Structure 1
Amino acid sequence: MSQLHDRPRVLVVDDNATLVENLTEILEEAGYAVRGHGTCAEALHGAREQGFDVALVDLRLPDGDGTALAPQLKEVAPDGEVVLLTGFATLESAVAAVRAGACAYLVKPCATQELLVTVEQAMRQVRLHGEKRELSRRAQMAEKLAAVGTMTAGLSHEIRNPLNAAALQLTVLERRLQRLPAATQPPLLEPLQLVRDEIRRLDHILEDFLQFARPREFQPHPVEVATVLTKVLDLLEGEAERRHIALERDLQPVPRVAGDEERLRQVVMNLALNALDAVGRGGTVRVSCQVEEPASGEVAIYVDDSGPGIAPELRDRIFEPFFTTKAQGSGLGLSIVHAIVVQHGGSITIEDAPGGGARFALRLPAAR
């Protein structure tokens, strides 16, 4: 991600070009990314295109009123905050600002310190909105986790026992069919294989539930990242070739990480398989590793694909239990990946791949 996108975004809406220029200079020096607009229409278009965190809006604009624009901006960016500007402070204008949903009210010309303090107070509100949303998301996830645990405890044996029995009977039936003349076997064995594949799929789903609800005890050991990635990529080369997908690797020297090698292989395998599913024939999947932060020794593992990417509105939900964009599956694969990464003291994010498509960025602390 670029440094520009990491900076808080401020929208300045005023038809006084000189004022917009002055405010932009002050705010950019304070570390904000600033965009200026002179009309309501321009401000709304800019907000829809690029969003904002804080909007400084004049009460009087050529094509409308700031008190009418403020709620429209809030509708575009519900977590954003609006500060109204006016050159004529009156009780009526202050009341109008409050009714419009503005978090603050500044009189032009305002002192630099007053401007910066007001914008920072608005940013605190923005961050608070984000924290509340994250707490709500975590609460929902905790409820789903509890539901999974309760359900798994009661149903695991009830489901696995008949699955095992069915798989055993299929094996017996297959042996009996193989005693028939060779010419009669294919049409009989084909549906048998389909049933076996479906039983295997159900068993994998059940295994996901069990692993998610009852994670194994974690005992970290120094793990060579390149070894983990090499084992996964070697296993997937045949599958990638069968799908006519280029599977690339760029394994730079990195420190060892403290973790569980088997679980880290599971993480990378899951991400790589998802990437293969995301690209079509002739696509590319690239797995790489590098030192992310030289000072801390943090290790980054990237899984990039040339697929259509992941829509921004889905990125916050992609690691939720049971959330999936696939027609089949438990919706637990990426939730398990997230849980394992957190268990290792790391983080995983979804970004845009450098060449287009999606990038899953896994960051792990180096072993000490």
Structure 2
Amino acid sequence: MKVTLERNHLLKSLGHVHRVVERRNTYPILANVLLKASDGKLDLRATDLDIEVTESVPAMVGQAGTTTVPAHTLYEIVRKLSDGAEVRLENEGAEQLLVTSGRSRFHLACLSPDSFPDLKSGTFTHTFPIAAPTLRELIERTQFAISNEETRYYLNGIYMHMLDVGGTPTLRAVATDGHRMARAESDAPAGAKGMPGIIVPKKTVSEVQKLLEGAEGDVEVELSDTKIRFTLGGVVLLSKLIEGTFPDYDRVTPKNNDKQMNVDKQTFATAVDRVSTIASDRGGKAVKLSMKEGQLELSVTNPDHGTASEELAVEFEPESFEIGFNARYLLDIIGQIRSENAVFLFNDAGSPTLVREDGDAKALYVLMPMRV
């Protein structure tokens, strides 16, 4: 293999594919990126056996060929080369790849491409385009609530499914860790009708989110029973889906919360952050909300460090009400509110609370209370 290409093009493609490669691998071949030179381009592919990312970059191919080299090492080499430099990749036998740029020379150990795994895609039953900004927003509004608890693996991703909302076909994304739930939706893309409910793994969600940064075009989404494939420009990401049943989130979404509080989002977030400074991790970072006659008092009690409190003006009609929350969870949700005001809907101190934007029903959040 002999191939010459521009450093910035190679760096961009390596940046997309090398991220899926784990730092520690049971199988040495999984630490490598597959390089295939042919027909005026260099194809790059990396996988961790759950996700596979492929991208092509234009190149001058002097001799076609295929090899594999350590992904993170190659990425770091190319990253440290001069901006706009020319990079030459050339096999030295079957066991080494020579990387040359200007006066820099690197000899990298190769592994045979014959043993590089191929994440078979199978047959896709549903294909549809979705605007990159729309998909990005669905992910951004729900990703923070994905669970990290491995025993409940079916919560380790974002659940996406189709439903009818007021006669409008809608694509909804939901994530929960049992303490909070995030729900966001958009009008269904053309062609998504009849798609099965799927759970997209957390790592896949993170990689797709990075690919979508600054993207404005359409993303092509393809689904099978066990896999999902995203195509954006020249990047193709193929991933396994989580096999399991997502819980009936609608059952735990409050329907009769009638105590409403409207509060300035930024003022509230700043106050919660301030008083939670002395909150104890042992106590679950608990902050108490006490509402009375248009006033909200935020308070924290830490037996080891003392107390903190702060008062805010809010819109609240009932005579008085008290409830406690984990401060970090509360800040995570407030961070997703796009309107100036956040709307809280309470039932009682032991029931889930609804949080939404002022006048927007496209996103909804549920937060479980704490005893304080």
TM-score of the alignment, normalized to the shorter chain, above 0.5: no
Structure in which a larger fraction of residues adopt strand: 2
TM-score category (smaller protein): under 0.3
**Greater length-normalized contact order (CA 8 Å, ≥ 6 residues apart):** 2
Structure in which a larger fraction of residues adopt helix: 1
**TM-score between the two structures when normalised by the length of structure 2:** 0.22
